[in-house]
């Protein structure tokens, strides 16, 4: 999005000119506007890119580039209607409305206005293209809320796309063993230094953990 600080804006512009791999929207890039940013990315993916799958993730996440692409291309059996990640428990899906935020809380369309439908954390989730298209379509009927991942969950429910739980998405960067990198696809909350360590673990897991669990399905 658009940033106020001139130095950051210049950095974004340079990055875009040099690599041409950034999408820059016209909205203010603020935490409150995160939903706009996510929807912008999804719209671009569906209208200009047409991938088979979309991985939405936060920038402080590690992604297992060794396993995930091959898994999706060769082993994934759910190629349609896929919406998978680390789902929030019911307790964490309670809608908290602040008086000042009236109108930005969950639209009271359904019978459970105080609870979001099951949805994966925005740290990282995968959508198949058809699921992403249905979710985008649903934006016509559902007003956005600032909680970006909950909004995707509401849209998915509206579109009849079911959220799927997978242990391959980790919300917390605990002391994962090298062999956990055989199946972990996304891990949240890594510093740049920790990214390097995770990368090493991922590469080691390939040879060091031949006999440990390898990902064969969403579980």
Ligand X SMILES: *[C@@H]1O[C@H](CO)[C@@H](O)[C@H](O)[C@H]1NC(C)=O
Which residues of the shown chain bind ligand X in the complex (CB under 6 A)?
27-28, 30, 32-33
- Min separation Cβ 65 and ligand X, Å: 32
Shorter beta-carbon distance to ligand X: residue 36 or 159: 36
- Min separation Cβ 31 and ligand X, Å: 8
**Measured between alpha carbons, how far is residue 146 from residues 58, 73, 103, 202 in Å?**
16, 33, 11, 34
- Min separation Cβ 36 and ligand X, Å: 6
Residue 192 burial by Cβ neighbours in a 10 Å radius (0-12, 13-18, 19+): exposed
Shorter beta-carbon distance to ligand X: residue 3 or 165: 3
Shorter beta-carbon distance to ligand X: residue 97 or 203: 97
- Min separation Cβ 29 and ligand X, Å: 8
Which residues lie closer than 8 Å to 104 by C-beta, 6 or more apart? 145, 146
Shorter beta-carbon distance to ligand X: residue 2 or 200: 2
Q: Pick the closest to residue 193 from 62, 75, 63, 47 (CA basis).
A: 62
Angle separating helix axes 129-138 and 148-159, nearest 10 degrees: 100
């Amino acid at each position: 999005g658009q940033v106020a600080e001139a130095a950051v804006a210049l950095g974004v512009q340079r990055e875009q000119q040099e690599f041409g791999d950034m999408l820059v929207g016209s909205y203010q890039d603020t935490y409150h506007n995160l939903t706009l940013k996510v929807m912008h990315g999804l719209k671009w993916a569906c209208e200009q890119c047409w991938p088979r799958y979309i991985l939405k993730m936060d920038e402080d996440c590690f992604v297992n580039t060794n396993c995930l692409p091959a898994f999706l291309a060769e082993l994934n059996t759910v190629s349609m209607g896929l919406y998978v990640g680390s789902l929030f428990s019911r307790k964490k899906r309670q809608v908290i409305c602040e008086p000042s935020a009236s109108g930005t809380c969950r639209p009271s369309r359904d019978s459970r206005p105080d609870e979001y439908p099951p949805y994966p954390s925005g740290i990282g989730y995968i959508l198949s293209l058809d699921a992403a298209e249905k979710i985008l379509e649903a934006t016509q009927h559902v007003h956005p809320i600032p909680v970006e991942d909950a909004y995707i969950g509401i849209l998915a429910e509206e579109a009849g796309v079911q959220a799927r739980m997978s242990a391959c998405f980790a919300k917390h960067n605990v002391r994962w063993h090298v062999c956990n990198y055989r199946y972990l696809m996304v891990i949240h909350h890594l510093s740049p230094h920790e990214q390097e360590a995770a990368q090493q673990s991922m590469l080691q897991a390939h040879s060091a953990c031949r006999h440990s669990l390898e990902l064969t399905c969403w579980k």
